[in-house]
Amino acid sequence: MSNKRKQSSPAFKANVALDGVGGEKTVSELASGYSLPPTVINTWKRPRIEGASDLFESTRNPLAAAAQQAQIDERYRQIGPLKVERDG
């Protein structure tokens, strides 16, 4: 009889970690609800908590960097006609 380790998908881990960070339920309640040990939930929560500040840094957040680049591109599109108008 072999004890096979349960493999969880990244999406499942993310959902459990978000539930744990949310604070609506305790880790013990989540552990019993998801049939997981509390230490596993705490392990999955840790990167969420430690990496939370990275969401707001434009250098590490590709969505923020893309939005910033789109704003720069729009400004360059606006500058072009104004420069022609001024030089013309």
**pLDDT tens, 52-85?**
777 676 566 677 778 888 888 888 888 888 777 7
Distance separating alpha carbons of residues 13 and 40, to the nearest angstrom: 10
CA distance 52 to 73: 28
The contacts found for 20-27 with CB under 8 angstroms, 24 or more apart, are 20/44, 20/45, 20/48, 21/45, 21/48, 21/49
pTM more than 0.85: no
